[in-house]
Amino acid sequence: MIKASNLTHYYNNDKALENISLNIKKGEFVSLIGESGSGKSTLLSILSTLLKPTSGEISFDNLNFKSIKNIDSFRRENIGFIFQFHYLINYLTVKENIALANEKASKNEISSLLELLGIKELINKYPNEISGGQRQRVAIARALINNPKIIFADEPTGNLDSKNSLNVFEILKNFSSKGTTIVVATHDKNLAAMADIIYEVKDGKLQ
């Protein structure tokens, strides 16, 4: 589904990634682990089209990223993003926050997704009325509402306690078993072990 060859990335003159090649198959749950500063976020940003590599090639279902004309609509149709900080909008309800990602989503669709994530009763609450773990599940719902083929998550549990972190990974694992491809960057080796495939990034290189 994603094929990356010889990715190298520099920030100004500093090399952040060196010659990374990897293939990710449909439905695979992949984790990228490594210490802070190792290059996980950079790699995730490149794989998810948010950052152009200094050199190297990436394709998505054999479509080279360089040949995609409208990258915004490509992302909207294919990719869901989850970040460490959930970026929910405080003056919108849970339902409205999710609807922002897909204005065509019906209340029923939003409600069944929230049910799947175990937070259906929160649909009309505001972000500051729910817990951090619940907010992260709302952010997952927002990433999933477009039925993306692939989800990229950058330290999605960085702000959560171990119980909620495990819950987030279980949810992601569950979606991968239904065919959604999941790529997660985390520094937590125990959580990363729940993935099908673990790539370790060290000093910008794949171990």
Binding site for ligand ADP (CB under 6 A): 11, 14, 16, 34, 36-42
**What six digits make up the tokens of 8?**
């190298």
Residue 184 Cβ, how far from ligand ADP at the closest point, in Å? 12
**E runs forming strands in 25-72:** 29-33, 55-60, 63-64
Residue 35 Cβ, how far from ligand ADP at the closest point, in Å? 7
What is d(CA 153, CA 14) in angstroms, rounded to the nearest whole number? 25
Rg value, the chain, Cα: 17
**E runs forming strands in the chain:** 2-11, 14-24, 29-33, 55-60, 63-64, 79-82, 150-154, 181-186, 197-202, 205-206
Residue 15 Cβ, how far from ligand ADP at the closest point, in Å? 8
Q: Which CB, 74 or 83, lies closer to ligand ADP?
A: 83
Q: Which CB, 35 or 61, lies closer to ligand ADP?
A: 35
Q: Which CB, 12 or 108, lies closer to ligand ADP?
A: 12
What is d(CA 153, CA 172) in angstroms, rounded to the nearest whole number? 10
Q: Which CB, 42 or 97, lies closer to ligand ADP?
A: 42
Residue 67 Cβ, how far from ligand ADP at the closest point, in Å? 26
Residue 22 Cβ, how far from ligand ADP at the closest point, in Å? 15
Chain-centre distance for alpha carbon 33: 14
Q: Which CB, 113 or 169, lies closer to ligand ADP?
A: 169
